Amino acid sequence: MLIAQLSDCHVMVDGDEAAELYRTADRLNDAVTHLNTCVNRPDLVFLTGDLVNYAQREEYVLFNEIISKLEMPSYLLAGNHDDCDLMREVCNTHTYLPKSGPLAYVVDGWPMKLIALDTNLHGKPQGELGSDQLNWLEKELAKETKRKVILFMHHPPFNTGLTTMDEMELIDAAAFGDVVSRYDNIDRILCGHLHRSIQTNYKGILTQTCPSTSHQVHLLLGEANELGTVREPPEYLLHYWTEEDGLVTHSDYVKQYPVIWTLKDGVQ
């Protein structure tokens, strides 16, 4: 099983300075083309929030048009830049999305149980799961305690040292931590929001954030309360599962870099 995780696409329509600066739609289109044609072609794709930038209908129409070109199943999560009702309405071919309430769901039919969570707190940069969704998560985790689980969500439940981004936190991270700490079959918690690849051990679980298909956040750690973006390459994560070795994660770029040396069957 090979899962591609894309995040923080921030799709914008042409017409303002930010759209011209970041060219987010073009970069997402490049990512889709790459996934369809790359040697490590994924079985499915998760997009972990901030699908568009201003939560406008026209952005979702453009976003939906681009990802409809994916030749494998794709699954959408809401981030703080998203509007859940517009996501439901415009991306209506994604029938797994609940008709009301949080955009939380389970993807089954794979060796691992895949659970998507909704941290969107409408109109706020912070995230929140809420007691109802945490209760739902607990019930889903309790249904089977042996099969490995991956949790997907936008806001990470841990601080990263990126001071300004950490202020846009998951408000009920402590309550979330109480739930996940009760289950030892959660293999990975996969998040977005940070526009960088970051890993930590959270409640005994490897927890990661995914870089952006558009632009990355400037790596300024510590007390520097400054937020900047940098033109690092568009990037995504590949989560590779085998029965023998479990889940292994790789970073890849939305670009085919040239191969400059190979060794095959012991021959250069």
Tell me the CATH number at 127. Answer: 3.60.21.10
Full residue range of the structural domain in which residue 15 is found: 2-253
Instruction: Identify whether 236 is part of a domain.
Output: yes
pLDDT at 225: 76
- What tokens appear for 265 in the block? 């069957």
Instruction: Identify whether 166 is part of a domain.
Output: yes
Beta bridge partners of 9: none
Give me the amino acid identity at 29.
Answer: N
Instruction: Identify whether 261 is part of a domain.
Output: no
Instruction: Identify whether 196 is part of a domain.
Output: yes
Task: Per-residue pLDDT tens, the chain, 268 aa: give them.
Answer: 999 999 999 999 998 899 999 999 999 999 999 999 999 999 999 999 999 999 999 999 999 999 999 999 999 999 999 999 999 999 999 999 999 999 999 999 999 999 999 999 989 999 999 999 999 999 999 999 999 999 999 999 999 999 999 999 999 999 999 999 999 999 999 999 999 999 999 999 999 999 999 999 999 998 777 899 999 999 999 999 999 999 999 999 998 888 899 887 765 5
| Residue-wise DSSP of the chain | -EEEEE----B--SSSHHHHHH-HHHHHHHHHHHHHHSSS--SEEEEES--BSS--HHHHHHHHHHHTT-SS-EEEE--TT--HHHHHHHTTT-TTS-SSS---EEE-SSSSEEEE---B-TT-SSB---HHHHHHHHHHHHH-SSS-EEEE-SS-SS--SBHHHHHS-BTTHHHHHHHHTT-TTEEEEEE-SSSS-EEEEETTEEEEE---SS-EE----BS-----EE-PPPEEEEEEEETTTEEEEEEEESS-PPP----BTTB-
Instruction: Identify whether 174 is part of a domain.
Output: yes
pLDDT at 226: 84
d(CA 26, CA 102): 29
pLDDT at 256: 83
pLDDT at 267: 58
pLDDT tens per residue across span 177-202? 999 999 999 999 999 999 999 999 99
d(CA 170, CA 36): 33
Give the chain's domain count. 1
Instruction: Identify whether 264 is part of a domain.
Output: no
Residue 184 · residue 168 · CB < 8 Å: no
pLDDT at 266: 61
Give me the amino acid identity at 173.
Answer: A
pLDDT at 268: 56
Instruction: Identify whether 119 is part of a domain.
Output: yes
Instruction: Identify whether 259 is part of a domain.
Output: no
pLDDT tens per residue across span 92-119? 999 999 999 999 999 999 999 999 999 9
